[in-house]
Structure 1
Amino acid sequence: MTTTTSRLLRLLSLLQTRRHWPGSVLADRLGISPRTVRRDVDRLREMGYSIHATMGPDGGYRLDAGNELPPLLFDDDQVVALAVALGAATATGAGIEEAAVRALTTVRQVMPSRLRHRLDALAFTTLGAGHGDAGPEAVSSEVLTAISTAVRAREVLRFDYAGGHQDARGEPAPRRRGEPHHLVTSRGRWYLVAWDLDRDDWRLFRADRITPRIPTGPRFTPREIPGGDVVDYVSARFKGSSEHDRWPCTGKVVLRRPAREVVPFAGDGTVEDLGPDRCALEAGSWSWVALAASLNRFDTDIEVVHPPELTRAFALLAVRNTATAAVRRAGPPGPEPG
């Protein structure tokens, strides 16, 4: 059974999300009768909220816009959404970084202490576009808050990790223990940067696979991230390196396509305009064959500028494609002669 105060906060939160709410829908969402909805609306009006009501079969309620409304109220999930949205604004490149920080500070000042603590508990680092795996993965706000809280408290995090390594007998790996250093988000995915106590090395864990264990472990003295910068370190890991934020294999080619057609698909590569129908592209990948394959996506003549390893990778791809085509032409093997 919810209290009248919590029910009013929930009603107000719902009214702020859309222009019109049918009374019956509000009653269902709140688990109360339409008559109680009307009474709660009257209470909100007494508190200064301008709520317009319409009668009839399609009747309902709408929270009118105004300049003298009381401070906006947030529930727990909205606080997490606000922290994520404003925190991620630092990587948009839209020039709103300072404004986002000021907005978050302003909103924080009018929140009750419980929600303010929840807002403060979620701290993370945002990597710019072009890093990490493609495609978002859902992570609960409870998991993100638990990881961030352990990072801020400098307490060992104990957790189960789905899809982790198996031991020699094929059994699931035991519970993981790590010193959490940073919570990082990139292209819709969340990662934990931690020192793995069982493997005595740095690890990058996907947050959507983490199930935190309670209680956390003892406090620890933070180690220095390799290279000293978490963004550079995570970016390097995404590129297959453990030390430097650059691809292990980088080459340059000339493409028979105008630069304007190549730039949108160049990723973190560098495009040089060589005329109306030619451009140079310098790009990288985790292997030479992977780089050659990625360059073939431009579907045009390619001239390798450097290095020789990239030329050999194109030759290897051609051999593989020829062999694959020959197998397909031959079809499945026939019966052996008896």
Structure 2
Amino acid sequence: MKDSLNIKTTKAGQSRLAETDFRDLPFGKVFTDHMFVADFEDGEWKNFEILPYGPISMSPAISALHYGQAIFEGMKAYTQPDGSVSVFRADKNFARLNKSAVRMAMATIPEDVFMQGIAALINIDKAWVPSEENYSLYLRPVMFATDPVLGVRPSSSYKFVILANPSAPYYSNPLRVKIETHYTRSDNGGVGAAKTAGNYSRAMLPTVEAQAQGFDQLIWTDAKENKYVEESGAANLMFIIDGKIVTPEVRETILDGVTRDTIILLAKSMGITVEERRVAISEVLEAIENGTLTEAFAVGTAATVTQISEISYEGKNHVLADPATRTVSPAIAKKLNDIRYGVTADEFGWNWIV
């Protein structure tokens, strides 16, 4: 991609690549040598730079710290058979980031800033993109408010940063999940459909409590009645009931997941019926009991397709069919991986070759 932004580049003096063990890549802990940064000041985006990865100087009074104006995205880049690197569905992540920005009263990101920033970062750190199966370069675009003012109002200045970290699979085993009916992740009229930092901080205590009970994640329910399935901690949820994929419809309390959309489109292309609608907890539990629920899985950028092996509700554990015996979601996951890694034709035009 042509650099029309005139991105200034300062290379790291010493690469950390040689000292990085690519067999041990805990999610979100190992970062590449560089990062992309840009500033929104005086009504325009400026100061486009590739810098060595490291601390950013800022005032302790910036409004992101005090009033929560912070949004982000999660994306992945993959090594292709010819050695090139592709970013998966970057256009959809770009659109969702700006949707979050509008909801949080923040400046929107121009497409050239988003795309050229990603391209510049990948090009300088291309050697960091893993080539092993199920590995990827995780990309984290993040924007936060930087006005050094204590006052409850939208900031007039923002910083946009893109980080990259080589990543192994996020989950290595099927999940034991608990249906949460006390705490809530989001509510009508709130910011549940925005990928904003506050949604995740709100979920931390309930998640920690569930993990202390031996669960990996939660299934969030609606804030009004606690009767309907919404999403998991870092992923959307899907169930196969009577041979059909059933998944909660996107609404203002549920994030419009990129992987969710991808799985739905792939499933339909494979002749699998998909129902997007309200999904009651009672329906899920009844389908487990009568054997019509054959698969349950979480889908997200980090999680990709992760099987759910057990669902707990009000102290009762419901064990699902052995993930090793499942056929539908693994077939969809394989087709997804084949497209992302360039093994099969990208019939949907999802891969952006950087």
Which structure shows the bigger proportion of residues in strand conformation?
2
Question: TM-score range with shorter-chain normalisation?
Answer: under 0.3
What's the TM-score once normalised by structure 1's chain length? 0.22
Higher helix share goes to which structure?
1
Give the structure-2-normalised TM-score: 0.21
Which entry has the higher C-alpha Rg, 1 or 2? 1
